[in-house]
Amino acid sequence: MHLLIPAAGMGRRMGSHRNKLLLTLLGDPLLAWTLRAAEASVQITWIGIIAQPEDKSEFEDILATVAPKKPVCLLPGGVTRQESVYNGLQGLPLGAVRVLIHDGARCLATPDLFDRCAEALRPHREYEPPSGIVAAVPVKDTIKVVDGAGLIKDTPDRSHLWAAQTPQGFPVPLLKDCHEKGLRAGWEVTDDAALFEKCGLAVRVVPGEETNLKVTTPVDLALAEFILKQRPHPQPLSQVGRGG
């Protein structure tokens, strides 16, 4: 299974002037934690990290420290996440059949989550139409639809609402087609499943992880550190040495 890691954003909501994936959690950059989970997954066999040119040398340092045994490529990032994934898809090895896409900022995803998503993406019956998958969790809050003036317009039935996470997985040729179509039509989306849905293709949810938060604000960073400390062996590379 191929994995693309969009890692080419900035840290605006983090109040940071540099890529938030270079911020540290228990001494290691966010990207190192994401990369190590991907490395530990049984199903992932190839990793593409989508990066901005200015982050390349620091990403290379992270790669040297994590020292993954799987092949890893650095691919050029775009102005938006959508453009970054588009570029990443062009950088997949020829013949890649299925791909998981996982935001670098979701650095707490476990190897098991990668494996469950990869497994769910495989067609299980011969005549099953190809579909995408999205790791997701049922929402806990009541969600309101609010207009620009702050007025509540709707309260959707919570029992049907799920919060989409990554990994998200798709058959490569179909996702490439959806991205091309989105580009031509000027669709602006914040995840790849939305492109698949807009093209009328099926996407199924796979149980995600409550701890699989996307580190976005300083509070998320503190929460992520707390969660990692609860895990049996957080093994920050900075403390246990190369290869953990």
Rule CB under 6 A: which residues touch ligand C5P? 6-9, 21, 50, 77-81, 84, 103-105, 214, 216
CA distances in angstroms from 243 to 114, 232, 235, listed in the order given:
20, 17, 10
Alpha-helical (H) ranges within the chain are 30-40, 56-66, 81-90, 111-121, 172-185, 192-198, 218-230, 237-240
Give the torsion through C-alpha atoms of 192, 195, 200, 202, to 10 deg: 0
CB of 129 to ligand C5P, least distance (A): 29
Question: Among residues 7 and 118, whose Cβ is nearest to ligand C5P?
Answer: 7
CB of 190 to ligand C5P, least distance (A): 7
Question: Among residues 79 and 152, whose Cβ is nearest to ligand C5P?
Answer: 79
> Which residue type is seen at 230?
Q
CB of 103 to ligand C5P, least distance (A): 4
Give the count of alpha carbons within 13 A of 136, CB side only: 18
Q: Which residue is nearest to ligand C5P (CB)?
A: 9
CB of 166 to ligand C5P, least distance (A): 8
Question: Among residues 61 and 128, whose Cβ is nearest to ligand C5P?
Answer: 61
Question: Among residues 91 and 119, whose Cβ is nearest to ligand C5P?
Answer: 91
Backbone angles phi, psi at 88, to 5 degrees: -60, -40
Spatial contact of 43 and 243, defined as CB atoms under 8 Å apart? no
CB of 44 to ligand C5P, least distance (A): 17
Question: Among residues 198 and 214, whose Cβ is nearest to ligand C5P?
Answer: 214
CB of 216 to ligand C5P, least distance (A): 5
Question: Among residues 2 and 81, whose Cβ is nearest to ligand C5P?
Answer: 81
> Which residue type is seen at 221?
L
Let me know the angle formed at the C-alpha of 107 by 174 and 23, rounded to the nearest 5 degrees: 125
